[in-house]
Amino acid sequence: MPKWTSKISLVPFSLNIVIGPRRVGKTMGMKLLIRELLRREENPYALFYFDCGVLENHREIVEVVNEYIKIKERRRIKTSYIFLDEVTLVPEWWRAVKYLVDRRKLKLDVITITGSVTIAAERHIGAFGDRQGNGKTVEVMPLSFRGYYNLFHEDFFSSKGQEVFEGYLETGGYLAYLNRKLRTNEVMSVIKADVRALGKSTSAARNIIGAILDVAPDPVSLRKLAERAGVSAPTVREYLELFEGLHILLPSPSWTLGEESSQERIGSSQSGTPSWRGQ
Ligand SMILES: Nc1ncnc2c1ncn2[C@@H]1O[C@H](COP(=O)(O)OP(=O)(O)OP(=O)(O)O)[C@@H](O)[C@H]1O
Ligand SMILES: [Mg+2]
């Protein structure tokens, strides 16, 4: 069982929010937790899993849960465990979640939602506040180097360190790479689908990423990126936020001062100017 699954609260009422990049193992972890719960639960109908990726809008989320509530009531289940996977790709998903919590039909239940698009999620997650009850917000990230190393060896040997580190750089700590379940074109199509689902243009995204890769790891201004990508500086800013939310880019602070005013630099502050690198 991945460690993060133990952070999910199973005490009613809970609204757990599991958030993390694509292909990091959220669905797998959640299904392993469901398997555990099935061992303990007398009634398997107390567990409900739904992949929201197929839904078009927030109303459909409510409809799906309402259908489950009918089953729950028919079977006289007191506490149910509802898992709504990949909810953040559904437009206005937070309206459905707020409605489901506020209606209090699920006040003795545990709801767990997952999402991979932090840009669309962060401000709404903050707004849930008291609505989470005993629930936790759990961030799932790829393995750290230590975690990755420990998959192969228990103790640290410096002779092995270099070799394992090279593997770590190649896989990024994603387990899916290790069992050859992740391919480059799959990653590309997942990113494209997310960009489209968030109402952004895949060709602008491609041009801006291309412009960044051309200059990375050097610090670069928004204006220069805009010139290279053939779009406006505000558009570049908007897409950088999107890539950061999708965990494709990570801003890294850089302390060199260029000739341009810091105002023009990405995420600029008076003390330094961040550069960007691909993750
Ligand atoms: N604990 C694990 N051990 C081994 N492999 C794993 C583990 N978790 C995930 N994987 C591998 O990673 C792949 C992706 O995992 P999963 O589908 O759970 O990710 P996800 O975070 O739900 O992705 P998405 O955001 O695209 O839905 C799995 O198909 C599996 O091959
Ligand atoms: Mg998933």
Which residue minimizes the CA distance to atom 5 of ligand 1?
Answer: 175
Tell me the pLDDT band of 121, cut-offs 50, 70 and 90.
low
pLDDT of residue 254: 58
pLDDT of residue 172: 82
Domain positions in the chain: 3-139, 145-178, 185-278
Angle between helices 233-245 and 118-128 (to 10 degrees): 70
From 175, 194, 247, the mutation candidate for ligand 1 (largest count of ligand atoms within 8 A of CB) is 175
For domain 185-278, which CATH number applies: 1.20.120.80, 1.10.3720.10, 3.40.50.300, 1.10.10.10?
Answer: 1.10.10.10
pLDDT of residue 71: 96
Ligand 1 in contact with 23 (CB < 6 A)? yes
More confident position, 7 or 182: 7
Minimal CA–CA distance to 83: which of 18, 2, 130, 138?
A: 18
From 23, 52, 117, the mutation candidate for ligand 1 (largest count of ligand atoms within 8 A of CB) is 23
Between the CA of 24 and the centroid of ligand 1 the distance, in Å, is 5
- Residue 115 clears pLDDT 50, i.e. is over it: yes
Strands 81-85, 47-51: parallel, antiparallel or unpaired by DSSP?
parallel
Between the CA of 25 and the centroid of ligand 2 the distance, in Å, is 7
Strands 275-278, 249-252: parallel, antiparallel or unpaired by DSSP?
antiparallel
| Mean pLDDT (whole number) for 46-53 | 96
Nearest atom within ligand 1 for CA of residue 116: 25
Ligand 1 in contact with 25 (CB < 6 A)? yes
Tell me the pLDDT band of 268, cut-offs 50, 70 and 90.
very low
3-state helix/strand/coil string of the chain: CCHHHHHCCCCCCEEEEEECCCCCCHHHHHHHHHHHHHHHCCCHHHEEEEEHHHCCCHHHHHHHHHHHHHHHHHCCCCCCEEEEECHHHCCCHHHHHHHHHHCCCCCCCEEEEEECCHHHHHHHHHHHHHHHECCCEEECCCCCHHHHHHHHCCCCCHHHHHHHHHHHHHHCCCHHHHCCCCCHHHHHHHHHHHHHHCCCCHHHHHHHHHHHHHHCCCCCEHHHHHHHHCCCHHHHHHHHHHHHHCCCEEEECCCCCCCCCHHHECCCCCCCCCEEEEC
Residue-wise pLDDT tens digits, 148-205: 899 888 888 788 888 899 988 888 888 887 777 777 788 888 888 888 877 899 999 9
| Class of CATH domain 3-139 | alpha beta
- Residue 31 clears pLDDT 50, i.e. is over it: yes
Nearest atom within ligand 1 for CA of residue 30: 18
Ligand 1 in contact with 24 (CB < 6 A)? yes
Ligand 1 in contact with 167 (CB < 6 A)? no
